[in-house]
Structure 1
Amino acid sequence: MPALPAHPSLEHLRKQAKDLRRREGIPLSSAQHELARSHGFASWPRLVHHVQALGLHGIERALVLADPEGLARILAADPGAATAELDGHPPLLVLLRRSNGAPADVRRCADLLLAAGADPGAHTVEYGGEWRRSALFDAVERRDLAFVRLLLDAGAEPDEDAFYHACEQGDTAFLDVLYRPGFERLVIHKLDFEDAGGIAWFLEHGADANAGALHWAIGRGRGTRILRMLLDAGADVNLPDPRTGHRPLAVAARCGHLAAYDLLHASGARADLDSVDTAVLALARGGPAVLPAAPRPMPGLPGEGHGWLLGQFALLGRTDVVRVLLDDGWGTDTRGWSRFTPLDQAAMHGRTDTVRLLVERGADLADCAFDDEGPTPLDCAIWGVVNNRAPDGDYPGTVALLLAAGAPTRHEPPTGDEQIDALLTSPRPS
């Protein structure tokens, strides 16, 4: 396709993407991705941001484009512009949330704003007051540790929501700089990820292994290495969950986590299994997909019934069980934890064989887990390389398979892994 015109129309680009979708018979997000790449952009959001920025003026344009020189001229003429809100947001948050510029340029712009009086503790209140999205939170979102330190040096106070978000990063340096006493209780969120180094950090900082950590780790499908870490830290293998009353062994059975069940049983765990526990355990051992109706075993699972188990077995790499469930008519894209599909969960844990099966069965390659801007399955695989790396995961194999299948991604090199970067920069098959 030709280069973008001097004044591109976002409406026209969207129409082109829809035309490409119909012509090629591919998902809209895949068509958007290919259209963006044809114009020299790594992803559709980057193309959209570029076009939107072309229609902006003044400080808003300087912030979105991360133009330090232009911003410096504006602030020299009007220092008050550093604190004057734009559509209800202070300029610092506009910069953090909307800029698609190079990280160094974004930080230079932040320096200029802070020097002119911008508040490093700027924040918005989200979801009716449930949490605060601070500048620190947004710096973590950008995975920019230097920006986090810049804000802290300018006087920003670490907040629990920013620390909670830092739990989603594989780099414990984010935890180091944002930690305050009491934040160690957020080990539960870190257990949402296969991050032994992160769990070790929390245990070293006094996290209580008997505050539901073992139950949660089992339910989230954590590997035996992390489970052993919790046991070594004093987790009681027979402690009932304070919310459900289930003992760890029953949780392992109900969640189909056979490796956890065997480890706990060998460690002296005991529990009375009900009919559902017994049926799911039998399924994990190769039995039929006949499961009695029952409440979900843990808070946080979406939907009704047992559909979430498909994603559970996918993240555990149990391709044999996933095949049984698919053959039994279970929905390929049934959502589980955090609204991830089975393909998302398998990809995030590097389960290449399971990913192959799900792709062959028609799993949605372009599904976005949370909303229109959520991660695709390939995004999940690439993110997992750095932040959720299962020790037995085959991430190069998973990424190569998804790329070959035409899966879209918003990620671009460098990702932190040379093999993944090489795959992302190789020409895609036509």
Structure 2
Amino acid sequence: MASTLPTNPSLDKLRVEARHLQRANGIALHAAQFAVARRYGFTGWPALVHYLRLAADLSVDPGAVDEDALDPADRFCSWASLRYDEADAPPRWRAAADLLAADPGLVDRSIWCAAAASDSTALADHLARRPALANTGGGPFGWVPLMYLCYSRIPLGRSANDVLTAATLLLDAGADPNGGYLWCGMSTPFTLLTGVFGEGEQGPRRQPRHPHATELATLLLHRGAHPVDQQTLYNRMFRPDDSHLELLFAYGLADAGPSPWERRLGEAMETREQLWQRQIHWAAEHGFGDRLDLIARHGIDVSGADLVVPGFPDDPNVRDDEGATPLHQAAWAGDLPLIRRLLEAGADTSIADGRFGSTPLQWAEHAFQTEAADLLRETIR
């Protein structure tokens, strides 16, 4: 199965929901609890309660942190990290870099700051004094240091060797390569690999890959990170690049046994069949033929997938179900050649979509697709 619980689920709220259902339908409480559990993808009430108790210890809501109330060290870590909400954006990471430049001693006072900055010298000093810090949660999100390293996007110009040296120090000190957390209590874990591979619904500029994603992911996999990382596969499915899949397949993605997270969370997590069906469906619907071929080469059944071949729209101003035009989508993706073709075909830059009331230029600006935004501004002028 796969949990369909809302964000930040609460056992108390679900108990109230069961009581309401009991009273509304005149049924026994156990029957109402069973119905509620089934509604959210669990086999029964005990399984739901078990998951919620686990989630209470594993859940983090990064967006709930009051950054104004944080001390400088925790504020640095918060600004430095991908939070996987609408706040993710380059100006936050630049602000973190500026904060560190103004107070370089942050990395010496906090191992979590040292990890976010991939500062191997400071990390070595912290670990020499207290080796147990490698597995100690702290900072604004209660993460272990390696989480901050993997989710950090500070523009400090660190080389791949700098990052790998810092990560290796933590791994050698006992950091768990399968570490992670439950984002807002949701049942798909956000692991170290999730942070390294990056991307997601906010797009590649707001939620970019780690600058040294391939090297850092390879280190984690070599040190024991499990290749079946559901959130990574989801976050990276939106664009045609398959480098993440190629690396994960090389480390056993196709036929690996249960991951530590699958064993821990059990039925709350999606099955492997559900995982692959979502990947196959998205690839087929968006014309990612190379991805379907890659998946099939590793023994996963893609039969029945009907590949949609992308075509240029007959009407450049046609709207989708949410009122967005092809120009909106091209602006969000930063697809400059397609933007130019659409403009030449008569695409209207003034059309606002139906969901956000925003023009293609505003979509490009929100996605931090600066080149696309510049092109659209030139057209508007």
TM-score normalised by the chain length of structure 2 = 0.52
**Which of 292, 301, 318 is matched with 1:199 structurally?**
292
Deviation at 1:127, TM superposition (A): 4.4
Contact 2:316 2:325 in 1 (8 A): no
2:374 is paired with a residue of what secondary structure? helix
Hey, what does 1:267 align to over in structure 2?
none
| 1:175–1:341 CA distance, 2 compared to 1 (3 A) | farther
1:174 aligns with 2:145: no
AA paired with 1:199? L
Q: Which of 312, 316, 324 is matched with 1:322 structurally? A: 316
Partner of 1:78: 130
Closer, same or farther: CA 174–187 of 1 in aligned 2, 3 Å: farther
CA drift at 1:132: 0.8
Gaps of 5+ in 1: 1-6, 11-28, 34-42, 224-315, 380-398, 408-429
Equivalent residue for 1:106? 163
Could you tell me which residue of structure 1 aligns to residue 350 of structure 2?
361
Partner of 2:14 in structure 1? none
Aligned residues: 239
Indicate the residue corresponding to 2:16 in structure 1.
none
Identity of aligned residues (%): 18
Residue 137 (structure 1) shift? 1.5
Give the C-alpha shift of residue 70 in structure 1: 1.6
Is the CA contact 2:180–2:192 (under 8 Å) kept in the aligned structure 1? Answer: yes
Shift of 1:118: 0.7
Whether 1:95 aligns to 2:149 is yes
The DSSP-based 3-state class of the residue aligned with 2:182 is: strand
Query: Given that residues 136 and 151 in structure 1 are in contact (C-alpha distance below 8 angstroms), is that contact kept between their aligned partners in structure 2?
Result: yes
Decide which of 351, 366, 374 is 1:403's aligned counterpart.
374
Shift of 1:199: 2.0
User: 1:117 and 1:353, CA in 2 relative to 1: closer, same or farther beyond 3 A?
Assistant: same
Q: For the residues of structure 1 that align with 2:336 and 2:303, how far apart are their CA atoms?
A: 26
SS at match of 1:124: strand
Tell me which of 68, 72, 79 is aligned to 2:120.
Answer: 68
SS in 2 for 1:321: coil
Q: Which amino acid aligns with 2:247?
A: F
The alignment status of 1:50 with 2:97, answered yes or no, reads yes
Residue 116 (str. 1) matches residue 173 (str. 2)? yes
Matched, 1:145 2:214: yes
In the superposition, the TM-score normalised over structure 1's length comes to: 0.47
Deviations along 1:62-104, one digit per CA (max 9) or x if unpaired, are: 1222211121122112212211111311111111112424251
SS in 1 for 2:185: helix
Cα 1:137/1:332, change in 2 over 3 Å: closer
Higher RCO (CA < 8 A, seq sep 6+): 2
Q: Which amino acid aligns with 1:361?
A: S
- On the 8 A contact 2:179/2:192 being kept in 1, the answer is yes
Describe the shift of the 1:190–1:160 C-alpha distance in structure 2 as closer, same or farther (beyond 3 A): farther
- Work out whether residues 331 and 364 of structure 2, in 8 Å CA contact, stay in contact via their aligned partners in 1: no
Offset of residue 59 of structure 1 = 1.5
Change (3 A) 1:112 1:47: same
Per-residue CA shift, 1:35-74, capped at 9, x if unaligned?
Answer: xxxxxxxx52432221344554422331222211121122
Give the conservation status (yes or no) of the 8 Å contact 2:191–2:229.
no
**Aligned in 2, Cα 1:199/1:349: closer, same or farther, shift over 3 Å?**
farther
CA change 1:208–1:115 in 2 (3 A) is: same
SS at match of 1:119: coil
The equivalent residue for 1:128 is 185
